[in-house]
Amino acid sequence: MQVNTTKMQVNATKVQVDTTKVQVNTTKVQVDATKMQVDATKVQVNATKMQVNATKMQVNTTKVQVKKLVLVLV
């Protein structure tokens, strides 16, 4: 009887260990997914910065063109 009880306790402990392993793996997956989201956000931020820089370049080009026009008109 005691041997059977001990076996049951060992099996219960194994189940708890397996459950903990699954929880750890699930947490790792969540962390990886979060990292991917952060990376995707960084890519979006970088793309936005590039768009802003392109707009600034267009504005600067327009300013140069306006100055040239003013010089021609004067």
Name residue 20's amino acid. T
Residue range 7-30, pLDDT digits in tens: 999 999 999 999 999 999 999 999
Residue range 29-65, pLDDT digits in tens: 999 999 999 999 999 999 999 999 999 999 999 999 9
User: Is residue 74 classed as helix, strand or coil in its secondary structure?
Assistant: coil
Number of separate domains in the chain = 1
Name residue 17's amino acid. V
User: Is residue 1 classed as helix, strand or coil in its secondary structure?
Assistant: coil
The total number of residues shown for the chain amounts to: 74
* Parent domain of 36: 1-74
Both structure tokens of 29: 């997956």
